[in-house]
Amino acid sequence: MAQVLFVVTILVLGYALVQITQGNLDRLSVKSGYGFLAEKAPFELGESLIPFSAGDTYLRAFVVGILNTLKVAALGIVLSTVLGLLIALGQLSPSVVVARVCRFYIETARNVPLLMQLIFWYALITASLPRVKQALSPMPGVYLSNRGLNLPSLDMGGAGGAVALALLAGMIAAIVLLMLRRRIAISPWFIGAVSILPALLTWAASGAVLSAQMPELKGFNFRGGMAVSPEFLALLLGLTIYTAAFNAEVIRAGVLGVPKGQREAATALGLKPATTMRLVIIPQALRIIIPPMGNNYLNLTKESSLAVAIGYPEVVRVANITLAETSQSIECISIIMLVFLTISLTTSALLNWFNARAALVSR
Amino acid sequence: MNFKTIAIAAACTIALGTSARAELLDDIKAKDELVCGTLNYLPGVGYLNDEGKWSGFDVDFCRGAAAAILGDAEKVKFVALTGPQKFPALDSGEIDILSRSVTQTISRETTLGYDFIGPNMLTGQGFMVPADSGVTSLDDLDGATICLLGGTVTERYLAEYFSAKGMSFTPVASEGSDQMYPMYFDGRCDAVTQEPPYMAIRRMNSGNPDAHVILDQIVAKSYEAPVIREGDPKFREVLQWMHYGMITAEEMGITMDNIDEVMETTNDPEVRRFLGLEGDIGASMGVSNDWMVNVIKAVGNYGEFFDRNLGKNSPLGVERGMNALYRDGGAMIAPGWQ
């Protein structure tokens, strides 16, 4: 009975909140609803995975922002995991110096607020790297300046997007096959072929054009090639370094959580330390590691929204400009919430599924 | 209830009503002090120095207002306000006048219930570039990286201007001007965009003012004006005509230095009316007849006022541009003093 009353109270409060907000918005003659998404967005975003310019719709601007968020989150997750693993192994290493250095890194990186780290890296990049006209060029076609990193890109005669999609499809197929391998015998060569063949075939079908496009300094900036902006670099660096410290602790705890007897038994069987780690320790440690790692990944994705402080055009920055232009704050904030909720729930579902598998296999 | 009680009650109601609706002008005269909301960190606009002395364009406007109403430019209490504080401070009556580079817009004037005085500074969205970049006009900025303040109307004006011209640019958005200018000076951007007077202040503080030029062109207009609460017509009249009076003084060639001489020698009836030597315009407005004399002795005519704080007689060196008199090719003009 009390529970029913509680639910009813919550519903009534929620209804009242919506009514009052609606009333106030009407009084202030603020439009509501998501109709503005189809209107023209009068701003530029700087960097984008899909073509975007002022005059495209707000919806497209949001898609650009979401893709930018996903880009930095995906790369950050991969890099922070690799770095975290290295730091964790370093901490467990018999060398006192290496262990101390890794400990120092962890204590520094996780005890300085992320926002400070982002501003620090951004200031370091823009203030200490040379100006664009005096860009450093460690090797031909690679330029580093305070406008970011410019690299040569592969030109596939306009088929680049299709090839990338085919490569992604191949990778997914290969992962599925890898999972099936436990039940059916599949040659590793076959899996390797499956992962790259679709991309190769797509490229061949498009006419097999392949040339390197070099960045060239024309006018104000480098044109051609691939550009990585300082905002993106600073954000990726900050997120990676910060999250890697947490990841390292999780991995270290996981490895240390495997009973000592397991390692001793493996050694007694004559397994080498590296093999012991790969076949005995890591599979068991994964069970401990995966759930807290999932938390760290979710945090990384959500914290990417701090990028608004350094002007990286992710979804929060898009929402902020849209809000300033249209005054539709409730709608814009609800979009931010929905985007992060969707990303988080998806990540968490994937990790739960993976966790279930890891737990099952090891028993 | 007899007639007497009703009469007393009615009289009290009227008295209460009128005291609540008393003109701000009378209140200011009664307390012998004008309270002015401004800013304290922008030299040339509103600045409080180490010795506790206030200076700047927005500050001097309040000094002029105190001279007009109270006959003494020093009878002002300055209150430093941040951006988010400025309108609440005005709404609550903490300050009498807000002189803090507020941009006049229709929504602020009509739906939010403010009155704008002036406008006393006409500006727009300008651009600053390094002097050695060879950029002399906006058309040279095709393909440039431009630093701007994120989430402001700057983004729209810039994108609309560039797309209308078929040009492209890459924005680098900052959260505030304290982050934006270091990035521009470090070379992260080829140009920075804001209102020219503010860019001039940053340029002066950059340590090497000659290394940067502010382009003459602007892409959007902006009316900067002091603000008061709606509903004080006499106060508004005094301030609005003080603004016109400063322009009129410049038109008449009356300055801080020559005003005493002009008062003794002039025979021009309009000048004599202006200076309160004839007629009773001032008195009918609720201030002294020589109120404009006090204003000009305190802050000068509009040209002196502008040049001393922002223009050629200040380290900022902002061009008069649109703020020149109409007869000199600008947009500053005032109604006649008849």
- If 0-12 CB within 10 Å is exposed, 13-18 middle and 19+ buried, where does residue B286 land? middle
Quick one: average pLDDT of B82-101?
A: 87
Nearest beta carbon to residue B159 from set A43, A218, A219:
A43
Helix residue ranges, H only, chain A: 2-27, 58-92, 96-111, 114-128, 160-180, 188-205, 230-256, 260-268, 273-275, 282-303, 315-326, 329-361
What's the pLDDT band for B12 if we cut at 50, 70, 90? very low
Q: Encode pLDDT of A198-214 as tens digits.
A: 888 888 887 777 777 88
- Interface residues of chain A, partner chain B, Cβ below 8 Å: 42-47, 53-55, 123, 126-127, 131-132, 146-147, 218-221, 223, 230-231, 308-309, 311, 313, 317, 320-321, 323-325
Q: Encode pLDDT of A103-131 as tens digits.
A: 999 999 999 999 999 999 999 998 888 88
Q: In terms of pLDDT, which residue wins out, B17 or A41? A: A41
Residue B16 reports pLDDT greater than 50: no
Q: Encode pLDDT of B198-235 as tens digits.
A: 899 899 888 888 999 999 888 888 889 999 998 899 99
Nearest beta carbon to residue B156 from set A43, A46, A47:
A43
CA distance B168 to B182: 23
Residue B20 reports pLDDT greater than 50: no
Write down the pLDDT at residue B31: 93
Q: Are residues B235 and B29 in contact, defined by beta-carbon separation less than 8 angstroms? A: no
Q: Among A34-48, A180-194, A304-318, B138-152, which stretch is predicted with the lowest mean pLDDT? A: A180-194
Write down the pLDDT at residue B249: 96
Q: Encode pLDDT of B242-263 as tens digits.
A: 999 999 999 999 999 999 999 9
Looking at chain B from residue 140 to 169, which residues have their Cβ under 8 Å from any Cβ of chain A? 142-145, 150-153, 155-156, 158-160, 162-163, 168-169
pTM comes to 0.75
C-alpha of A204 from chain center? 31
Does the complex come out with an ipTM higher than 0.85?
no
Q: Which of B240, B230, B332, B242 is nearest to B296 (CA)?
A: B242
Write down the pLDDT at residue A321: 85
Write down the pLDDT at residue B317: 85
Q: Encode pLDDT of B34-66 as tens digits.
A: 999 998 888 889 999 989 999 999 999 999 999
Residue A70 reports pLDDT greater than 90: yes
Write down the pLDDT at residue A30: 59
Which residues 6+ apart lie within 8 Å of B294 measured at CB? B67, B68, B71, B72, B73, B288
Quick one: average pLDDT of A271-277?
A: 89
What's the pLDDT band for B238 if we cut at 50, 70, 90? very high
Let me know if domain B123-223 sits in CATH 3.40.50.300.
no
Q: Which of B198, B222, B176, B236 is nearest to B25 (CA)?
A: B236
CA distance B42 to B59: 11
Write down the pLDDT at residue B209: 87
Map out the domains of chain B as residue ranges.
123-223
Please check whether residue B130 touches A, CB under 8 A. Answer: no
Q: Which residues of B touch A57 (CB under 8 A)?
A: none
* 3-class secondary-structure state, position A192: helix
| CA angle, A127 then A130 then A134, to 5° | 160
